Structure 1
Amino acid sequence: MIISTWNIRGFNKPVKHLEVLSFIKENNIDVLGLLETRVKKNKAHRILQSRFRRMNSFTNYNAHYNGRIWILWNPVTTSVSIVEEHAQVVHCQVRHFATGRTFHLSVVYGSKNASLRQQLWQSLSDFAVTGGPWVTMGDFNVVRHFTEKISDTPPVFSELAEFNNCLLDCGLDDLQGTGADFTWFNKHDISSKVYSKLDRVMVNSDWFQHYPQTSAQFKPPGVSDHCPVILVRGNPMFRLMEKLNKVRLGLKNLHNVEFSNIGQRIKDKKVELAQCFEDLQKYPLSEAHINKEKLISDDFLKLKEAETSILIQKAKLHDIKHNDFCSAYFFC
């Protein structure tokens, strides 16, 4: 079973809809928490029904007017039952059909305001008494350690202390991960560049006992300024099968001659962007690497928008009028 959260930093543009669909498909995501969608409530239903109608969904507009947290899941593999919803966190129970395993999941999008984050810490502390395997993941909008931020302005000690005290009360700790050390960066020039580890996966002791082979993967941010984080559960053979399945999908896409040119350009640019992001992790204050990342990121976004335009043009007029992005063009 594979769970992910991603601060998508706005979810109104079709190019981001396509990127999320591609992300779900490429990584076989069973449950996805989308954060900071910035989508108004009257538009959210239309996006979910047209672009993601094959998935079940939940949004927390009842707890916050801007619907800060969306949860999508594959109803064929997984069931999700909402236990509590708040403005900054949604607590739910997840059941994986293939294994029959059940656990608790908390999807977090913490407030940028330290005072408001007190409500998040209280909600996590109250929910911790539920017991059983529990994973908490998302964008907490605060770091745990001073080394997790590179900026002219250091982290505020009291904010770190409040976060760590909450985790101590809840019995939560970081799950071992691979990929980016800094999960958010502001994409400014060298004079005002900021890197922070705001996104993370944390689990309790019961989780470690039941799922000792789980790990977190922090992927390149792509069309966002936050890294998507993926929680992978399974033995090494299971992960090998996942990788082989990705290769199979890649080979299948090679046969799609109609889109092979722009598709390959996007793939190549995505590899360049991932490599550039990796270099930035090593040399975060290098002006040359910062400028290179901005150029490649802009090129990648332009290619994705061009691909979106081509797909829209080839879709049937009926589908365009009904905002239907679930045609074969998007799921081939």
Structure 2
Amino acid sequence: MSLISWNCRGLGNPRTVRDFDQMVKEKKPRFLFIMETISNKNRMERLRVKFGYEGLFVVEPVGKSGGLALFWKVAEELEIQNYSRRHINAIVKMSDNEVHWKFTGFYGHPDPTKRMESWSLLSHLKNFAPVPWLCVGDFNKIIHQSEMVGGNRRREGQMEAFRATLEDCNLGDLGFSGPKFTWSNKRQDDSFTQERLDRVVGNSGWCNLYKSVGVDVLAARASDHNPIYVSFSNIQPCGLQGRRGFKFEASWIPDEDCGALIREVWDGGDDGGGAMMKVRHKLAWCKSRLIGWSRNKFGNNENVVKEKTELLAKLQNIEGPTQHEAIKSLQTEIDSLLEFKDTRWK
């Protein structure tokens, strides 16, 4: 199962529609959340037919700004709960079990002076349907100074308000792979700026539903925002659900990427405030990044082991000495993956 979230900056441009169509064909997402459509319901309905979706809910733009749309593949599997110019809230009904979870497509207010309205809205939404919750979109705000390059430093108070809201809602960042920044002003002078404005967050209930979750920042096409692709699979049986606390795994230590990530967070600028506040912020951010990193890097180990084992079987059926090194290398890779799994879970 998968979804795509994208601030497309308008679907009136034929090139944007072509690029969008190609992205949908490549990724085949079950859900699509689109922001800044600047398109009316009739145009979005034509796109629904073109993309092959059964469900569609549209929040039309006001004038030449805004507009949200949510597409879904199977009409009966999603029910809209509420909406505004800044969000679409829905319940996803899993057909293969009795687990329902809440999906929120969120678009933070682009006006910095009205950003607190967005955080109030997000806090309000947590009270609707207290079930596993996934929230995706363009939040129009960074969490730490390290999430931007170029431009003026962001005010610590505004970032702290965003962090506090996510914490209050029990929403943790699910990490990402791909480009670090999801938005760029695309300027060619000293005012060039990049920021991580688009993200995926989920509460502990939703994270515990799935063994495998991947968040990929896709290449930017006809927009100054990158699309976000989320894939998730292997739903947990209801009896296995429960809150899992964060634990730093000793098996991560030899991995160079783990050390690099920790150094990046710890050396990533001064977020203001007292010494203990700085330490607390860095620890919280390090935790969030490690959760996303470990899920993206190691979450699919079982599938990787299966694929490599199948390849190993094919190589072993080929006669001749030329396969010896390839077989030996594959066996080492499989042993390493299985050793990681045993160290992590035993």
Q: TM-score, normalised by structure 2?
A: 0.63
Query: In structure 2, how many angstroms separate the alpha carbons of the residues matched to 1:99 and 1:31?
Result: 19
Residue 13 of structure 2 is matched in structure 1 by: 13
Q: Calculate the aligned-residue CA RMSD, in Å.
A: 2.5
Query: In structure 2, how many angstroms separate the alpha carbons of the residues matched to 1:159 and 1:237?
Result: 38
Write the deviation string for residues 157-193 of structure 1: whole angstroms up to 9, x where unpaired.
2221111111111011100321111111111103221
Residue 110 of structure 2 is matched in structure 1 by: 112
Q: Which has the larger radius of gyration?
A: 2
Structure 1 residues 108 and 94: CA distance shift in structure 2, 3 A: same
Equivalent of residue 127 in structure 1, options 125, 128, 141: 125
State the SS of the aligned residue for 2:109: coil
In 2, are the aligned partners of 1:172 and 1:202 still within 8 Å (CA)? yes
Residue 201 of structure 1 is matched in structure 2 by: 200
1:112-261 equivalences in 2 (<5 Å): 112-129=110-127, 130-234=129-233, 236=300
Query: In structure 2, how many angstroms separate the alpha carbons of the residues matched to 1:239 and 1:98?
Result: 21
Write the deviation string for residues 246-295 of structure 1: whole angstroms up to 9, x where unpaired.
xxxxxxxxxxxxxxxxxxxxxxxxxxxxxxxxxxxxxxxxxxxxxxxxxx
Gaps of 5+ in 2: 235-299, 308-346
The amino acid across from 1:23 in the alignment is M
Structure 1 residues 56 and 46: CA distance shift in structure 2, 3 A: closer
1:86-105 equivalences in 2 (<5 Å): 86-97=84-95, 101-105=99-103
Query: In structure 1, how many angstroms separate the alpha carbons of the residues matched to 2:187 and 2:175?
Result: 29
Q: CA deviation at 1:239?
A: 7.2
Query: In structure 1, how many angstroms separate the alpha carbons of the residues matched to 2:97 and 2:216?
Result: 22
Query: In structure 1, how many angstroms separate the alpha carbons of the residues matched to 2:41 and 2:204?
Result: 41
Residue 2 of structure 2 is matched in structure 1 by: 2
In 2, are the aligned partners of 1:184 and 1:197 still within 8 Å (CA)? yes
The amino acid across from 2:5 in the alignment is T
Query: In structure 1, how many angstroms separate the alpha carbons of the residues matched to 2:168 and 2:103?
Result: 17
Query: In structure 2, how many angstroms separate the alpha carbons of the residues matched to 1:238 and 1:23?
Result: 27
Write the deviation string for residues 78-106 of structure 1: whole angstroms up to 9, x where unpaired.
72211110111111111243566421111
Structure 1 residues 151 and 168: CA distance shift in structure 2, 3 A: same
Structure 1 residues 73 and 164: CA distance shift in structure 2, 3 A: same
The amino acid across from 1:160 in the alignment is M
Structure 1 residues 208 and 43: CA distance shift in structure 2, 3 A: closer
Q: CA deviation at 1:43?
A: 5.3
In 2, are the aligned partners of 1:128 and 1:170 still within 8 Å (CA)? yes
Residue correspondences, number: 238
Structure 1 residues 2 and 99: CA distance shift in structure 2, 3 A: farther
The amino acid across from 1:6 in the alignment is W
Query: In structure 1, how many angstroms separate the alpha carbons of the residues matched to 2:120 and 2:87?
Result: 11
1:82 aligns with 2:87: no
Residue 22 of structure 1 is matched in structure 2 by: 22
